Structure 1
């Protein structure tokens, strides 16, 4: 008997306020043309004071539970990927747990920045395969607007806020090629200074702001993402031609295009939401996944590749049959 984690339902949530590039030019020395040409971004959602990483995560989780036709009480594992928790501690996952009315299940945060959701997926998949969890709520949620330097036009235009979630459920009689088939994760801490936040409780005792050397990050992203996708395809025993959809981290349209070219992948198979959501870090992959499921592009039985790279550097990919 083969026990696998299958995707039972997905959900997402966005802050109320949507800020277009044109609106951003009133605050930042930039232009709509400059942003679109370099990133493909047209707008992003920015959290208001009453919208937190936890509140976005809670909303996305409720939508995912509804899609899975489950109650919160059915969940025995909650993993929240975020680089912008509500507080240093406790884990924001425990706030989500309490708000959903699920008391006593395992709940914790994962910090791997933009790759965080994939790290969380692999942990949940491993726990389900091992029999220590049956139904897992895996969430990516961020309020990156809280850590942006709004005087740095090269970075503040790139990011937005949001959340995405999915329910993974154990299937004990899973057929070959069903559910999560393969996951590969990597990290290389030598590149810390290319993408980081210049603060934290153990160093400056302040929250800090995001700092990035965009050109160097771009170069590493294209190479690392193409390599880890090939690695994961090989592990799963499938080819590029077998892929129905790639759901990538939505960092930059140019990275998405370059990665597709390097893989020899049809760009029409790449789910792109960066134009609407910008870079939402750990939320971007589940947010894009939910968007493509709800608009009908992704259908049951489709073979999906999820991939991301973020600060650290961390990067990874997962292959799943939806």
Structure 2
């Protein structure tokens, strides 16, 4: 069994925030745009995929009326991050001058260099140190592990973490670009940013993040999700833009195992799914509550899912969903949430426990 690494220290959650670009985009709007730019059958295929994924809406930062949206993006990644961080800082009762360290994680940065978080720092007028993780759906777990060690070792009072994705501009509205995997990306993925502000463990049981873990089972496996083009191994982009390759069958075969490994990691620590009031898994599709409930034999109503209305937000998914759950009124004081992340790039799993 693959071991997960658990952080030794807890964190205090001081605030959460989220930002989504523009109004929600329905399947019909998305497919009509595709039909206008491509063959009508592309829209029919996209509708069928969206139905199977259980996704009805998502937010996108691109202009759907141009084939390639690189020059017409309605809300850039640094702006989304700024808005999400501002919400988190408001709840925490601090301003940017009180943030000791800024951590970002994304697979779709504003630029490759400087990192996305550098542009976020500019937006925030932040003069302190920052770092960025080039990760997708489990970037939150690595960010928390780093924050946990930093807070404990350096007595830091406020560390801000933001996960974001603006992947929609990578999609080309043309028949030449279309494949089944790209149509899956088109309807499954959404854009947005989610943020948290965390600090040192205060010894209480209120708003505590604990059991932060991360592991991987990707050794020797081909990536399930990766970016083709733009890297040093292949700087040229054959389709004009870097392409998010999505090996749907590989993800289908191995993706579920990531949740199993996450649950096993908690069981090894003496916990069971039954002791948690809520379970918040990575938001891969709108049917996840039903699928997770069936496989792990837990009540479906305990599983919090937002993918039906937001799509898969990648690096932003866990933070956005946690913010929505905390602000929904359904999460009561003292309740515990098990967060389970799953990333198909090279098959990482991670998570944490949040006590409200």
TM-score, L = length of structure 2: 0.82
Contact 1:159 1:278 (8 Å CA) reproduced: yes
Structure 1's unaligned 5+ residue stretches are: none
Deviations 1:181-207 (A, max 9, x none): 212212314333422111123023245
Deviations 1:33-69 (A, max 9, x none): 6244311100111104141111101100000111111
Structure 1 outlier segments of 4+, above 6 Å: none
Let me know the Cα RMSD of the aligned residues. Answer: 2.2
What is the 5 A alignment of 1:224-303? 224-235=258-269, 237-303=270-336
Instruction: For residue 233 of structure 1, report the CA deviation from its aligned partner.
Output: 4.7
Of 259-268 and 66-75, deviating more is: 259-268
1:41 corresponds to which of 42, 55, 60: 55
Instruction: For residue 129 of structure 1, report the CA deviation from its aligned partner.
Output: 2.8
C-alpha distance 218-122 of structure 1, shift in aligned 2 (>3 A): farther
User: Which secondary structure state, in structure 1, belongs to the residue aligned with residue 21 of structure 2?
Assistant: coil
Contact 1:82 1:282 (8 Å CA) reproduced: yes
1:61 corresponds to which of 81, 85, 90: 85
What is the 5 A alignment of 1:86-165? 86-104=110-128, 106-131=129-154, 133-150=156-173, 151=178, 152-165=182-195
Greater gyration radius: 2
Q: Distance in 2 between matches of 1:142 and 1:88?
A: 14
Of 55-64 and 121-130, deviating more is: 121-130
Contact 1:218 1:255 (8 Å CA) reproduced: no
Contact 2:105 2:133 (8 Å CA) reproduced: yes
Instruction: For residue 211 of structure 1, report the CA deviation from its aligned partner.
Output: 1.3
Of 280-289 and 34-43, deviating more is: 34-43
Structure 2's unaligned 5+ residue stretches are: 1-7, 36-41, 63-72
Of 31-40 and 204-213, deviating more is: 31-40
Deviations 1:110-155 (A, max 9, x none): 1221111222122212222333532111111110102235523233
C-alpha distance 18-253 of structure 1, shift in aligned 2 (>3 A): closer
Match of 2:70 in 1: none
Contact 2:255 2:347 (8 Å CA) reproduced: no
Q: Distance in 1 between matches of 2:281 and 2:172?
A: 25
User: Which secondary structure state, in structure 1, belongs to the residue aligned with residue 271 of structure 2?
Assistant: coil
User: Which secondary structure state, in structure 2, belongs to the residue aligned with residue 25 of structure 1?
Assistant: helix
Match of 2:12 in 1: 6
C-alpha distance 320-34 of structure 1, shift in aligned 2 (>3 A): same
Asked if residue 25 in structure 1 is aligned to residue 31 in structure 2, the reply is: yes
Match of 1:195 in 2: 225
Q: Distance in 2 between matches of 1:226 and 1:256?
A: 15
C-alpha distance 161-210 of structure 1, shift in aligned 2 (>3 A): same
Of 113-122 and 51-60, deviating more is: 113-122
Asked if residue 223 in structure 1 is aligned to residue 237 in structure 2, the reply is: no
Of 37-46 and 207-216, deviating more is: 207-216
User: Which secondary structure state, in structure 2, belongs to the residue aligned with residue 190 of structure 1?
Assistant: coil
TM-score, L = length of structure 1: 0.90
Q: Distance in 2 between matches of 1:137 and 1:178?
A: 15
Match of 1:306 in 2: 339
Contact 2:223 2:347 (8 Å CA) reproduced: no
Q: Distance in 1 between matches of 2:118 and 2:333?
A: 31
Instruction: Give the number of aligned pairs.
Output: 318
